[in-house]
Amino acid sequence: MLLSMFLFFSLFFAAPQGEGGDVPASIYDFKVEGLTGEMIDFSAFKGKKILIVNTASECGYTPQYEDLEALYQKYKDKLVIVGFPSNDFGGQEPGTNKEIAAFCKKNYGVSFPMAAKITVKGNDKAPIYRWLTEEQYNDYKNTTVKWNFQKYLVDEKGKLVAMFPSKVKPTSKEIVSLIEK
C-alpha cells in the first residue's frame, strides 16, 4: 500500500520537462515549449542533424540569426535548427516569448523552431541544456555555455558530436563540413 501511494505521488508530482525537471536519456525524448506555446518534440527530428543554439535579441552576435536561417533553408532536408532564447548573459534577451517571436520574424525571417525562453546555465539550467553540457547525459563531454549563440550539433542518430563557441558563425566551414558529412 505504501509503495502504491509512493508510485502514485511520484508520477503525479513528477517534475515537468522544463526548468528543473529530470533529464531524459536521449535528445529524442525532449519535448519543449515553443515561443508561441506549441510543443517542439525532438522525436520528430530523428534522422536529421540538430543544431541547438542559445539566442538573444540584443547581443553583438544577434546577426547570426540571418546565417542560422540561411543554413536552415539550405539544409532543411537533413538539418533542423532549434533556438533557445536566454537572458543569462548581460540581460541581452529581456523580452517575453511573444516579443522574441515577433523580433525574430520581423528582423531575420526566422522559420526554424524557436523554444520558449529558458535558463542555460547555473542551478536552474533547463534539462535540455543539462543534457547538452553534462557528459553523464550526452556521452560527449562536459561544457559550459559561455555566451549567447553557442552552438551544439547533434548527429542524425541523436549523438552530440560538436560544440562551437559564439564567435563561430553558423555558416562556417567547421559547421557546414559536419552537416554535409
pLDDT digits (tens, 9 = 90+) for 83-138: 999 999 999 999 999 999 999 999 999 999 999 999 999 999 999 999 999 999 99
pLDDT score recorded for residue 135: 96
Given a cut of 60, whether residue 26 has pLDDT beyond it is yes
**What's the whole-number mean pLDDT along residues 34-59?**
97
Given a cut of 80, whether residue 160 has pLDDT beyond it is yes
Cell 561544457, located at residue: 143
Q: Which of 175, 125, 154, 165 is nearest to 29 (CA)?
A: 154
pLDDT score recorded for residue 21: 61
Higher pLDDT, 14 or 91: 91
Higher pLDDT, 181 or 6: 181
Q: Write out the CATH class of domain 30-180.
A: alpha beta
Given a cut of 80, whether residue 34 has pLDDT beyond it is yes
* pLDDT digit string, tens, across residues 66-81: 999 999 999 999 999 9
Please check whether residue 128 is in contact with residue 117, taking contact to mean a CB–CB distance below 8 angstroms: no
Given a cut of 80, whether residue 2 has pLDDT beyond it is no
**What's the whole-number mean pLDDT along residues 29-47?**
97
Residues of the chain with pLDDT > 70, as a percent, come to 88
pLDDT band at 22 (very low <50, low <70, confident <90, very high): confident
Overall pTM > 0.85: yes
List, by residue number, the catalytic residues: 59
Which uninterrupted H or E stretch holds 108?
helix 97-108
Buried/exposed 54-80: b ≥16 CB within 10 Å, e otherwise: bbbbebebbebbbbbbebbeebeeebb
Q: What is the mean pLDDT of the chain?
A: 91
* CA dist., res. 95 & res. 159, Å (int): 32
* DSSP conformational letter for 136: H
**What's the whole-number mean pLDDT along residues 8-17?**
38
